Amino acid sequence: MGAIKYMKIDLRFLKVQKVVLILFPILAVFMEAFGKMDFAFVFGYLCFGAIIIAPTAFMYEQKGSDLFIAMLPGKLKDRVWGRFLNLIILMLGAFLCAMISHFIAEGFSFSISGMEAVFMLAAFCISIMIGSIQMLVFYKVGREKSQQWLAMFRLIPGFVVFFGITYASDALIKEPDLLKNLVGILQRQAVMLGGLLVVICIAVLLVCEMLSVKICSKKDGY
């Protein structure tokens, strides 16, 4: 419950990003429904948006609001977990927006292939892992860096996810034999591979969270 309280505080910081939060989903719908962009491109675009928005609360630490947060009753672990939950909420929002965009693009009917489902799970888990590592780095060096450095750094992981998803999708489309072999492997080992990916994702998330707690415990103001 404590982590949820701090997550809500971080979500309030996103009010300054409300224009971006509104525009990203709208553009996603237009790109797939009217711009004829493929599903992978749109989902990669939304993951990019979620990752660059997630560290917004770190920008406010430079303005002294971290002192206010530190004075609130609660455990250090809850404060850190709240920020990681913020990342998860944004990623779930990206997933939901992608589903709505696909629903509209398909003429208000929902159809998704097994390959698209697997691709989406992989993209979602990888985005969570990259976002978690980004949060860890922000906890480590965020306070010592300028606003300009923070603004630039939070774009890098998002671009990696966006171009990575887009490139992987294009590469598979251009290599039908590779795609066929990959589909065959996924059909035979879908549950095992999907479960393994989820386990790795959760492990990376937990390790980054625990390391972040240790980092924060050594910093003034926590």
**pLDDT at residue 222 in the model:** 46
pTM of structure? 0.78
pLDDT category of residue 31 using cuts at 50, 70 and 90:
confident
Mean pLDDT of the chain, nearest integer: 75
pLDDT tens-digit map of 51-63: 888 887 777 665 5
Does residue 92 have a pLDDT over 60? yes
**pLDDT at residue 205 in the model:** 94
pLDDT tens-digit map of 194-213: 788 899 999 999 999 999 99
**Comparing C-alpha atoms, which of 52, 54, 53, 40 is closest to residue 98?**
40
What is the number of alpha carbons within 13 Å of residue 152 lying toward its C-beta? 5
How far out from the chain centre does Cα 128 lie? Answer: 5
Report, in this order, helix, strand and coil percent for the chain, each rounded to 5.
85, 0, 15
Regarding predicted confidence, which is higher, 66 or 163? 163
Lowest mean pLDDT among 21-35, 69-83, 147-161: 147-161
